[in-house]
Amino acid sequence: MKFHGDFDDDSTLVLTESQYFDRLDFESPLDIRLRADLLAYSSIFIGYSLSDVNLRYMLYKLNRLWERSQHQQGRPESFILLTRPNPVQEQILAKRHITPIVTEEDNPGEGLLAFLQKILKAANR
């Protein structure tokens, strides 16, 4: 899911500060579906970082939901692809139960490509 919109649907694009703050509500039908999927399935975040306040807030809210539930043992694994090592972010993510996967490439695009090729290779075994 694209968090800040899609060029195929101009109404979903987040361009202004007001749109950005509205995005923090997390109450649109797409947000409710995303939240349900993140609570039910393993997920991988690609193209995001903790510099995005929306992602930080969403991870915080999800973590709080799990902490308050009686079903922590059922929490699915979640991952995030980081294009460069960042020990501080990795530690924060680990506290939110998100496992960082750090690419070994200097170029973020090449790192993403290498990661996706590894997934494809593993899926074809």
Task: Enumerate domains of the chain plus CATH numbers.
Answer: 12-123 (3.40.50)
Q: Which residues of the chain have pLDDT under 70?
A: 1-7, 9-15, 20-26
CA 103 to chain centre: 16
pLDDT, position 117: 93
pLDDT, position 7: 63
57 HSE (CA, 13 A, CB side): 12
Per-position b or e across 30-59, b if 16+ CB within 10 A of its CB:
ebeebbeebbeeebebeebbbeeebbeebb
pLDDT, position 98: 92
89 HSE (CA, 13 A, CB side): 18
